[in-house]
Structure 1
Amino acid sequence: MGGKPKNLKKTIGRLLSYIAHEKGKLFLVFFCVIAGTAANLAGSYMLRPIINGLTSENGSVAFLLKGVLVMLMIYLVGTLAQYMQQKIMIGISQNAIQKLRNELFQKMQKLPVRYYDTNNHGDLMSRFTNDVDAVGEMLNNTVVQMISGLISIIGTFSLMLYTNVWLTLITVVMIPLMLQAVKKIGSMSRKYYRAQQAALGTLNGYIEETVTGQKVVKVFCHEEEAKEEFDYLNTDLRGKQIKAQFFGGIMGPVMGNMGQVSYSLTACIGGILCVLRGFDIGGLTVFVNYSRQFSRPLNEIAMQVNTIFSALAGAERVFAVMDEAPEAEDAADAIAIREEEEGFCYVIPKTNAAAKDQRIMTDILREDAEYYYKKVNGAVTLEDVTFGYNPDKTILKHVSLYAKPGQKIAFVGSTGAGKTTITNLINRFYDINEGSITVDGIPVTAIRRDDLRRSIAMVLQDTHLFTGTVRENIRYGRLDATDEEVEQAAKTASAHSFIMRLENGYDTLLEGDGANLSQGQRQLINIARAAISKAPILILDEATSSVDTRTEKHIEKGMDRLMAQRTTLVIAHRLSTVRNANAIMVLENGEIIERGDHEDLLVQKGRYYELYTGLSELS
């Protein structure tokens, strides 16, 4: 949770790489910083000739006005330079943040399902918002302030040496003390800011889970427990924020007080030098001003420590996601699936190992110089498949089954028996430990992942609708579908009638995951989304679990139309929905203990018979 970032230099280097490509603009910013700092130093130095002139015999109002006018012109140049630097730097930083967000989002699209199954969704969302915003705040202001402060320190110190060497020594003595304070307080601040960002992500994750599951919280009267858990996480965050803000906040006052000590010593000793060594009053005035000005950049940088370490902690969390291993790349000669004149076809490069397998090459439609073309039929085969999400816990044990093209295969069994796991493996959301999975005799590992998944339509138990119209949500199944095809898919899923009763029909806007629809209606749209897909394989994972019995009966014909000409794998708790399956697989503890059609399994009077007749229950 806490501690020093694993590689501070690497994190800073990666952040700076997001702005390094804008060299021209950065050079202009650097020039403006130099011009602004130089104008500020020169304007301050103008006090020396003005004060010395006024205290001499030649002093006059005209001389004063002339000096003030020159100072005004210098400060105007400095103000313009600072305006330009700020404007340009904001553009650079926002471009960098846009690029960072894009890369983070693109990386998250490439991460395997396992990553999302094992990480808190709210914490991942926090990296997009709080952490990236902290990085943006730093790039907007802190980078320029650090450059400006460094130049200001060098310029001020040079002019201080030029003005009076002895008074400069006082400032030099104070520098190591200031740097030591920055180092000590900074290390503590960095530690607690990292812990703060982690605690903030945990709290956001809990809020996201609670808001999403608010109905469940209320149904089980869990409000008080939820408040207690939130209070615990909130208190933990408060404690870490107090420490982070305290150590970040005391940097400024500590540096300010040390600067005041240096300023006071300089004024006292400078006054003595004016009386005893003939040091000019204008020089003393300028030096005292520079003494305060010298500590100001250090103080400003110290005040930015909150932003710096909050941003570094946030950047580290963002880069941690970006450094996660993505799904393995497809082989260069992986098999593609494309829609050809003959329908969906495998496009097999002649360099691919599968092209040498005679079992696969028996029904090649045609070939050209580089590829073989084979029709996608949708035959699914699992041979001796063993798998576990964790190496020490096996979920599936030596599972073998096959589904011929157009067949309907059903899976029944207790919760946790491994039914959904089988569908996850067919989609290659996870890769098996042992055995093989093939589609039309081709190992799924030899097919491009995107093409494999595009050839499988899924209707999941958990409905999910995106912000947009009903039409857009159905078209999500195939983005090039026409309006007529969208409506036909809705009719296939028996969703057309209720959609037409909505305020704007297919153009009704859905928000909040379709909160203005019933659970059954949301599932019907999900079924329509699968219907519009031309995928030859269909997976229904508890697809009708959210639909009441009357609605289920109403859509049976639609489901039959949906499953026609497709290989269908059905996971169901309601055994009435799988009676017409070509084969039913009964799973327990990751093994297929019974298989056969409905009548065969009833005759066996085994586990399926007990479940169907109500002698036992699915749990």
Structure 2
Amino acid sequence: MARNKYDEDEQLEAPFDFTHLKRSYVYIKKYQGKMVLSLVLSMAAAVFGLVGPLLTQRALDKTIPEKNVKELMLLGFGLLGFNLAATILGNIRGRIMTVVGQNIIFDIREDLFAHLQKLPFTYYDDRPHGKILIRVINYVNSVSDMLSNGIINFVMEILNMVFILVFMLMVSPKLTLVALSGLPIFMLVMFAIKKQQRRAWQDVSNKSSNMNAYLQENIVGARITQVFTREEENAEIYDQLNGKYRKAWMRAVKFSNLVWPATDNISTLIRAALFVIGLLVMPQGAVSLGVLAAMTGYASRFWQPIMNISNIMNNFINNIAYLERIFETLDEPVTITDKEGAEELGEITGQVSFEDVTFGYEKGINVLEHISFDVKAGESVALVGPTGAGKSTIVSLISRFYDIEHGRITVDGVPISDVTLKSLRSQMGIMLQDSFIFSGTILDNIRYSKLDATDEEVRAAAKTVCADEFIRQMEQGYDTEVNERGSKLSGGEKQLISFARTLLSDPKILVLDEATSSIDAKTEALLQQGINRLLKGRTSFIIAHRLSTIRNCDRIMYIDEKGILESGSHDELMEKRGAYYKLYTAQSA
């Protein structure tokens, strides 16, 4: 996938690889019984549909000349009955395959979503989210039809050709050879069109993916767009992407539209040749009107499965590329996961140790180098320093959002790499800089961290962080619906709700990353009282640029130059008159 590029095409040009099709059998085998039933129904419907020209031949050659009204009526009812049976069986088959197709979509999307939730932060940092979405939505839709209807239709169209060929041979072997004479011409036309047609539709998919990636990015950043009046520039970029998509679509449709006229023209020429050879070339009386009518009917039908098979193969080749992208996502390694033999952490006291830890987001570029420190259970530690020094990185490593390259991190003396992620993170309360609010009620958003929490527990957490008052003032209180990302809430309100969500989990280790950055001074003073009560008996890591909020912490660590430059209480660091002193006095001034 093109990383962080909405204007760069994915490479979808791939050979037809049966390996991917074979691997997809895991999604097919659950429904193979229904697919076999669908195939049987399709075969029966095809045979019933092919009886019609035989009945027409009988009527023209015998029944009508003999003026047998009773037989003619029977033939008419028979024709109606066979066509009706074919329609009913086809409808039943269609319903079965609709269910199968939707079940396959459900299974693939369920696996994709479950896997995407386990992927590390680095996966989402490196890729346009819109291009991830198009794999889960568009590619899965396309692939599911190939895995269900595509396979059945491919087998069915081959059987249709065999059935039609058998019926034609039953009517007239000589005219059957005439009907087959157009095949070489058809193959030449398809050979000239199909490769370009496949590439054209792959280009459509690429341009759709690019447009989707840019659209998703702009929906998320709509407010920033308006703040900086970027509407016209963004509209111009989108027009360019949209124009490329339209151009690609029109080119693909141009190639597709060549198939139908070519097939129709060849089919028309073959039917004309049947009449010419049957009436003018062959001996007089050798071919009856009924035989000609039956053969022209079968000849027109014979070309349909040929064209369908060609389209199905083209669709297969396209969808194999999509299937490869789906499996590529499913194969993306979950680098942050429970190692083999990982044990439950058990209830912790909250002692945290870093032992000679080195870490970098990119190989060869370290953010932290050889950091070591010990935090006692119940101790509060503030991390300060310039932007980008590694403060948020340290708390992310404690939660094991990333794996370290060198050293060891322990909680209560147990390496965090040796325990299950759930047992570690379930005892940590983490409030990141991004106060993400989900669509739903305020009650549901706070309860997100503890699904079995009672309404009273939710309100108690909200009161602790001074959120209860503004929530109760809303029209429906805690049952007030909020939009995705909390667009109707102020920045401070979102942070308070996020804070309540973190506190509700009753963590042994509390991480507050810029927890009060969007809260006014008056609310912050009240909130600080709640924080001080909450910190008692809990190990806490607090990142704050407002140094007045962390004066009472047991320890303050100044992070810079890939390590800890200073460490001590507020008074101790002020006496040193070092980096913390300069930062504090500058901020106070």
Distance 1:184 1:415 in 2: 60
Q: Is residue 416–residue 589 contact of structure 1 (8 Å, CA) maintained in 2?
A: no
Distance 1:241 1:585, change over 3 A: farther
Q: Which residue of 1 aligns with 2:427?
A: 455
Structure 1 residue 532 displacement after superposition? 0.9
Q: Is residue 486–residue 532 contact of structure 1 (8 Å, CA) maintained in 2?
A: yes
Distance 1:493 1:615 in 2: 26
Pairing partner for 1:32 from 33, 41, 55: 41
Distance 1:616 1:436, change over 3 A: farther
Residue 20 in structure 1 maps to residue 29 in structure 2:
yes
Question: How many residues are paired up?
Answer: 580
Q: Is residue 443–residue 479 contact of structure 2 (8 Å, CA) maintained in 1?
A: yes
Amino acid at match of 2:39: F
Distance 2:15 2:388 in 1: 39
Q: Which residue of 2 aligns with 1:209?
A: 217
Offset from partner CA, 1:70-114 (integer Å, 9 cap, x none): 211211211111111111111111111111111111111222222
Residue 591 in structure 1 maps to residue 566 in structure 2:
no
Distance 1:561 1:122, change over 3 A: farther
Q: Is residue 248–residue 306 contact of structure 1 (8 Å, CA) maintained in 2?
A: no
Q: Is residue 137–residue 307 contact of structure 1 (8 Å, CA) maintained in 2?
A: no
Offset from partner CA, 1:28-78 (integer Å, 9 cap, x none): 21111011100111122211111111564x233333222212211211211
Pairing partner for 2:414 from 442, 458, 474: 442
Pairing partner for 1:250 from 239, 255, 258: 258
Q: Is residue 119–residue 336 contact of structure 2 (8 Å, CA) maintained in 1?
A: no
Distance 1:62 1:242, change over 3 A: same
Q: Which region of structure 1 is more displaced relative to structure 2, 545-554 or 312-321?
A: 312-321
Pairing partner for 2:243 from 214, 235, 250: 235
Q: Which residue of 1 aligns with 2:551?
A: 579
Amino acid at match of 1:92: V
Q: Which residue of 1 aligns with 2:89?
A: 81
Q: Is residue 123–residue 201 contact of structure 1 (8 Å, CA) maintained in 2?
A: yes
* Secondary structure at 2:30 match in 1: coil
Offset from partner CA, 1:105-146 (integer Å, 9 cap, x none): 111122222211212122212222222233345467544443
Distance 1:297 1:91, change over 3 A: same
Distance 1:423 1:610 in 2: 24
* Secondary structure at 2:345 match in 1: strand
Offset from partner CA, 1:492-524 (integer Å, 9 cap, x none): 111111111111222222222222321111110
Distance 2:501 2:338 in 1: 27
Amino acid at match of 2:418: A
Amino acid at match of 1:171: A
Amino acid at match of 1:572: A
Pairing partner for 1:505 from 433, 458, 477: 477
Aligned pairs for 1:592-607 (under 5 A) are: 592-607=564-579
Distance 1:525 1:239, change over 3 A: same
Amino acid at match of 1:504: Q
Q: Is residue 390–residue 562 contact of structure 2 (8 Å, CA) maintained in 1?
A: yes
Q: Which residue of 2 aligns with 1:265?
A: 273
Pairing partner for 1:613 from 571, 585, 588: 585
Distance 1:513 1:283 in 2: 71
Q: Which residue of 1 aligns with 2:6?
A: none
List alignment gaps of at least 5 residues for structure 1. Answer: 339-343, 345-375
Distance 1:522 1:269, change over 3 A: same
Q: Which residue of 2 aligns with 1:354?
A: none
* Secondary structure at 1:530 match in 2: helix
Q: Is residue 28–residue 148 contact of structure 2 (8 Å, CA) maintained in 1?
A: no
Structure 1 residue 612 displacement after superposition? 1.5
Pairing partner for 1:420 from 392, 405, 430: 392
Percent sequence identity over matched residues?
Answer: 35
Q: TM-score, normalization: structure 2?
A: 0.92
Q: With CA pairs under 8 Å and 6+ residues apart, which has the higher RCO, 1 or 2?
A: 2
Pairing partner for 2:197 from 164, 183, 189: 189
CA RMSD of aligned residues (A): 2.4
Q: Is residue 18–residue 96 contact of structure 1 (8 Å, CA) maintained in 2?
A: yes
* Secondary structure at 1:170 match in 2: helix
Distance 1:29 1:143 in 2: 11
* Secondary structure at 1:377 match in 2: coil
Distance 1:210 1:201, change over 3 A: same
Distance 1:294 1:6, change over 3 A: closer
Offset from partner CA, 1:505-548 (integer Å, 9 cap, x none): 22222222222321111110111111111221111111111222
Q: TM-score, normalization: structure 1?
A: 0.88
Amino acid at match of 2:389: A
* Secondary structure at 2:373 match in 1: strand
Q: Which residue of 2 aligns with 1:299?
A: 307
* Secondary structure at 1:585 match in 2: strand
Pairing partner for 2:169 from 161, 181, 194: 161
